[in-house]
């Protein structure tokens, strides 16, 4: 996605729209997955990533997706979203802290295992 497109989406309020969608549709795993796909695409731009972090996206993604982690597609996109946010120290810290306080040990170990698998595939 080009920087111009990113800027236009930010100016149009895409971050708040995605967050409202996550909050409103938290019982719909397919919508949560698609929202996380959009978040990952937007997070490729450093300014937009900072906007997402400041808007509380890390916490909201975890809160809305933790009930659907048994869904393989939601789980995979959750891990990709975590990796996108881990590109900045603040994003990594906020996402990691919320995960540790919300997910079970089993879920945390599954996330780490999937993350390692994805990172190995990228090499």
Dihedral sign computed on CA atoms, order 23, 56, 66, 103: negative
% of residues, the chain, pLDDT over 90: 59
Secondary structure class of 71 (helix, strand, coil): coil
Distance CA 66, CA 69 (A): 5
Q: Is the pLDDT of residue 2 over 90?
A: no
Containing H/E element for 117? helix 105-122
| pLDDT tens figures, 60-105 | 999 999 889 999 999 999 999 999 999 899 999 999 999 999 999 9
pLDDT attached to residue 123: 52
Picking from 1-10, 15-24, 48-57, 90-99, which range would have the lowest pLDDT averaged per residue?
1-10
Distance CA 73, CA 75 (A): 5
Residue spans of the domains in the chain: they are 3-122
Count the Cβ atoms, other than its own, within 10 Å of residue 24: 11
Containing H/E element for 67? none
- Residue 45 is classified by DSSP as S
Who has greater pLDDT, 30 or 121?
Answer: 30
Which position has the token pair 């808007």? 55
CATH architecture of 3-122: Alpha Horseshoe (1.25)
């Amino acid at each position: 996605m080009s920087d111009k497109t990113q800027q236009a989406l930010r100016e149009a309020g895409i971050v708040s729209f995605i967050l409202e969608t996550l909050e409103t549709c938290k019982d719909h795993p397919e919508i949560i997955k698609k929202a996380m796909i959009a978040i990952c695409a937007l997070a490729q731009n450093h300014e937009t990533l900072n906007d997402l972090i400041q808007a509380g996206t890390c916490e909201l993604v975890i809160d809305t997706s933790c009930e659907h982690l048994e869904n393989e597609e939601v789980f995979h996109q959750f891990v990709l979203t975590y990796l996108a946010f881990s590109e900045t120290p603040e994003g990594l810290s906020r996402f990691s802290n919320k995960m540790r306080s919300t997910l079970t040990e089993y879920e945390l170990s599954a996330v780490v295992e999937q993350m390692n698998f994805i990172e190995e595939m990228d090499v």
